[in-house]
Structure 1
């Protein structure tokens, strides 16, 4: 059954406390998993401690490969009805090298979309709750998991009015972000961890002017980074990153975030030929600037008896590579397929866990390592600078480089193109 109104949902939950799958966290990872599980005939309890629409600090960009999945889910038209613009071009500057081109088409999609979470999560939650067998509840905070011997068998939590409730399920999924509560409750082990060297601050600006075709802009000058995406509500999202141990700029952002961001961009990017600092100076900051001071690129055990992790709860990657949204959508499909391929979950936990972790690692690990490279403040070597110039000088290399972000190409494809270009120079 679909979710219906809030009254219908509460009434249904009061009568039904056991499900096939309980999903903790109802944003992109949780809602996409609820949709996929519904299509597989599973009953789902989808819950979130917050309410929708609401915002969350995030790199909320979808490359074209993710748009293909959103279209297959049946939500693309609703997302585009928000008026969020699409784009297909990237303008990247690594020190004195420009890489400018279009992302290659994937699965019939050539556009990218950076939609604000206030729109995205609300639409995905509504869409999930409209599916047969999905019950969605907002304002329910999980405080513990139920265990039967060595298996997780449900959750305990409370509503905003203080009432407590317990629900049982064959599987509990933590889709509750990089600081996952479920992950801690089930005892998932962290398998890899690479701390960032950067502090990050994000602003939403109005009246920002781009030159030429609408695009994503990325600048890495020395040890400082900036990125700009066109987003919803006639805004652009602007992120800046600088070394975490730079206490001068951290203090300035604490005292006056807007003035600090404008001054930082002028100081660190003003000496280049880019017009980015001037165009930012002409824009207006529309929402409070938020920061993230240090984070880990991590990878956790993904599944155990009666539980699984999805999205950032499973693996959080540096926002500079923009892979979190894709991984949530892709992971929901993988997990659902593994669940439905097992005849008896109780006798297949180890096999399912092994399959889930192997498939997620095979797909995502190369981008995880890309994120780990971005997250360390290591100056570009002369060799890397030469490779960047080679990429920027070749349309083929540029498109292959951009294709790594939407999975049109793998890192080894770029290596092959660069090798061929270098041989041609000899």
Structure 2
């Protein structure tokens, strides 16, 4: 095979792309892995792996190296919605009890290097894809420029977009946008040192009156804090645009004064500039066509509050690999493979997508929702079913069934 010809070209080499390259290489495919960045490279992201996804990192053989960064594991959640407090451990999944929130500057570099170690994988950093090659209605390769501005083209039996929520490959192949639900929130993120959590590390999640805060223990002895407020609040938008750190701290103090979160954040030091998103869409795209496919956020970006991005990146890469490996003649089976890929993605991920679409809307909780939250807080088995939605220990329906059974028990 010529050095400009491959079985698969992957555009984007972060979590989804590097995972796909590794999985394809294990199945004997010659892969070209491209990324416009040069690693290590940070990116704005929800970078948490619930314990089901930690298990996938272990299976890939990268978990031990990731843990060498000193990033802490955690298994506990503290969730406060109004005056309701839920404290519980995430359910164990496939023997994995702990979750991991590792910074992208470590994660992406290690996954890239792990893929590059496979003899079937050729890597190219600093390469920006500008167009795709076509033969009839089938994609056959990519055209792009390197860091010196020199243009090159590469061909393959399949081109995969693993280049995130603003995917260039997705735009070039004109993937159909099947669903889109705009968020009602602005989201800002900061990394703080010196934040104290009593006892073992945990995720903290606070919701009150249209304000949301979520916090994870992460790399470099820091905690990453995400803060969300309604996009329609022009006063706070202007404050954040003018003085991000002061506004971040002020909003925490005013919105979450009924908790001890502001006190602990007040004594913490912001280590890097506050970054944010003024709106985004929860979306879902066509995942495959003739000669092309998508993985990760390129298929579906979801509200960061549900924390599913890392799982979906790895899961979609593994699923696509299994479908490709089970098919000898790709060119004769694009429609069948595309149908299978789309159906299996939706079967696995759509329930969490719909959950994200609910969270992303700024609507006050109903009396029924408040009652459900109180049941979750009062019964360990309900708390386990609630947290189990996030790590795929159970489906959302299981929570509803558990809550109904417990309410009926209380009313006897």
C-alpha separation between the residues in 1 aligned to 2:127 and 2:328?
Answer: 31
1:162 equivalent in structure 2: 149
SS class of match (1:173): strand
Does the alignment pair 1:58 with 2:40?
no
1:241 equivalent in structure 2: 228
1:369 pairs with 349, 354, 368, which one? 354
Does the alignment pair 1:311 with 2:296?
yes
C-alpha separation between the residues in 2 aligned to 1:136 and 1:107?
Answer: 33
| Deviation digits for residues 197-216 of structure 1 (CA, Å, limit 9, x no counterpart) | 00000000000011222100
Does the alignment pair 1:84 with 2:71?
yes
SS class of match (1:347): coil
Q: How far is 1:132 from its partner?
A: 2.3
| Deviation digits for residues 31-63 of structure 1 (CA, Å, limit 9, x no counterpart) | 000000001111100000001001000000000
C-alpha separation between the residues in 2 aligned to 1:59 and 1:365?
Answer: 19
2:96 equivalent in structure 1: 109
1:187-336 correspondence runs (5 A):
187-270=174-257, 272=258, 274-336=259-321
Does the alignment pair 1:341 with 2:326?
yes
SS class of match (1:106): coil
C-alpha separation between the residues in 2 aligned to 1:387 and 1:368?
Answer: 21
1:351 pairs with 336, 344, 349, which one? 336
1:43 equivalent in structure 2: 30
Q: How far is 1:395 from its partner?
A: 0.5
2:345 pairs with 360, 363, 376, which one? 360
2:58 pairs with 53, 71, 81, which one? 71
Q: How far is 1:108 from its partner?
A: 1.1
Q: How far is 1:341 from its partner?
A: 0.7
Does the alignment pair 1:406 with 2:391?
yes
C-alpha separation between the residues in 1 aligned to 2:244 and 2:199?
Answer: 29
SS class of match (2:42): coil
2:131 equivalent in structure 1: 144
C-alpha separation between the residues in 2 aligned to 1:367 and 1:47?
Answer: 29
C-alpha separation between the residues in 2 aligned to 1:82 and 1:212?
Answer: 22
1:380 equivalent in structure 2: 365
Q: How far is 1:238 from its partner?
A: 0.4
SS class of match (1:99): strand
2:377 pairs with 372, 379, 392, which one? 392
C-alpha separation between the residues in 1 aligned to 2:31 and 2:284?
Answer: 26
C-alpha separation between the residues in 2 aligned to 1:36 and 1:223?
Answer: 41
1:8 equivalent in structure 2: none
SS class of match (1:418): helix
C-alpha separation between the residues in 1 aligned to 2:60 and 2:200?
Answer: 29
TM-score, normalising length from structure 2? 0.99
C-alpha separation between the residues in 2 aligned to 1:54 and 1:261?
Answer: 25
| Deviation digits for residues 102-156 of structure 1 (CA, Å, limit 9, x no counterpart) | 0011011000000000000000000000012001110000000000011000000
2:9 pairs with 22, 39, 48, which one? 22
Q: How far is 1:254 from its partner?
A: 0.8
Q: CA RMSD in A?
A: 0.8
| Deviation digits for residues 14-37 of structure 1 (CA, Å, limit 9, x no counterpart) | x60000000000000000000000
SS class of match (1:366): helix
SS class of match (1:346): coil
SS class of match (1:35): helix
Q: Which runs of 5+ in 2 are unaligned?
A: none
C-alpha separation between the residues in 1 aligned to 2:60 and 2:124?
Answer: 21
C-alpha separation between the residues in 2 aligned to 1:223 and 1:283?
Answer: 24
Following TM superposition, where does structure 1 have runs of at least 4 consecutive aligned residues deviating by more than 6 angstroms? none
SS class of match (2:374): helix
Q: Which runs of 5+ in 1 are unaligned?
A: 1-11
SS class of match (1:252): helix
